[in-house]
C-alpha cells in the first residue's frame, strides 16, 4: 500500500469481527514493531500475545474498574458510555511492555523517557503494519498498569506501554479530523 494511503487508513477500532489473527500476521506485526528506532538500539520492548478468552476477560475487567474510577471521580460525562465489551471480543491483544532503564543516555541530561519513546514508535509501527494487512487496531491504555502486571505475570521491573487490540473491523470507523500542522520557522512563534 502507498505510504500516504497507509497512514490515513490506520484507524482506531472499537468493534471487531470474530475472525482470528493468523500466526503469520502476528509475526509480521511484531516484526514491524521490533524494527522501530530506539536509543543505542536497546530495543527495550517485548510483546505478550493474548488470545485466551479467560485472560481477555480479566483485561476487560481491568478496563471496567478503570472506567469506574473515572466515573466515581467525576470524570468526563462521555466516559459513562465508553463500551468495554469489545475487549473480550477482540481476536488478538498484543500487550507491549518495556524496560524503562533501557532508554539510552537521556537520563544524564533531562530526557528520561527514551524507553517509552521508542516503545511508542514500536507500537506505531505495529498499528501501521496491521493496517497494511487489512486489519484495524486500537492502542488502549484505559486500565491501571499494576492490575495488568498481575493479570499477565509481568516482571516488576517492566512497564506497560499499552494493550494493542487487533482484528477485522466490524464496522468502518470514521476518521477523526486532523488540524493543519503548525510549523514554526527557525524559532517558536507564539503568534501562530
Ligand X SMILES: Cc1cc2nc3c(=O)[nH]c(=O)nc-3n(C[C@H](O)[C@H](O)[C@H](O)COP(=O)(O)O)c2cc1C
- Which chain residues interact with ligand X by CB under 6 A? 11-12, 14, 138-142, 176
Of 49 and 142, which has the nearer Cβ to ligand X? Answer: 142
SS3 string, the chain, reads CCHHHHHHHCCECCCECCCCCCHHHHHHHHHHHHCCCCHHHCCCEEEEEECCHHHHHHHHHHHHHHHHHHHHCCCCHHHHHCCCCHHHHCCEEEEEEECCCCCCCHHHHCCCCHHHHHHHHHHHHHHHHHHHCCCEEEEECCCCHHHHHHHCCCCCCCEEEEEEEEECECCCCCCCCCCCCCCCCCCCCCCC
Of 42 and 139, which has the nearer Cβ to ligand X? Answer: 139
Of 47 and 142, which has the nearer Cβ to ligand X? Answer: 142
Of 76 and 176, which has the nearer Cβ to ligand X? Answer: 176
Task: Name the minimum Å distance from CB 14 to ligand X.
Answer: 6
Task: Name the minimum Å distance from CB 44 to ligand X.
Answer: 16
Task: Name the minimum Å distance from CB 41 to ligand X.
Answer: 23
Task: Name the minimum Å distance from CB 105 to ligand X.
Answer: 24
Amino acid at each position: 500500500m502507498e505510504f500516504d494511503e497507509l497512514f490515513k487508513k490506520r484507524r482506531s477500532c472499537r468493534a471487531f469481527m470474530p475472525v482470528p489473527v493468523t500466526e503469520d500476521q502476528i509475526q509480521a506485526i511484531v516484526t514491524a514493531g521490533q524494527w522501530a528506532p530506539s536509543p543505542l538500539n536497546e530495543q527495550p520492548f517485548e510483546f505478550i500475545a493474548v488470545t485466551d478468552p479467560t485472560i481477555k476477560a480479566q483485561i476487560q475487567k481491568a478496563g471496567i474498574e478503570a472506567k469506574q474510577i473515572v466515573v466515581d471521580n467525576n470524570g468526563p460525562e462521555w466516559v459513562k458510555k465508553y463500551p468495554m465489551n469489545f475487549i473480550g471480543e477482540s481476536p488478538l491483544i498484543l500487550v507491549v511492555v518495556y524496560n524503562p532503564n533501557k532508554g539510552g543516555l537521556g537520563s544524564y541530561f533531562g530526557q528520561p523517557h527514551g524507553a517509552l519513546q521508542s516503545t511508542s514508535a514500536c507500537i506505531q509501527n505495529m498499528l501501521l503494519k496491521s493496517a497494511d494487512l487489512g486489519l484495524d487496531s486500537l492502542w488502549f491504555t484505559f486500565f491501571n498498569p499494576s492490575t495488568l502486571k498481575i493479570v499477565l505475570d509481568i516482571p516488576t521491573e517492566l512497564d506497560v506501554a499499552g494493550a494493542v487490540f487487533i482484528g477485522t473491523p466490524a464496522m468502518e470507523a470514521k476518521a477523526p479530523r486532523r488540524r493543519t500542522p503548525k510549523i514554526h520557522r527557525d524559532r517558536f512563534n507564539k503568534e501562530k
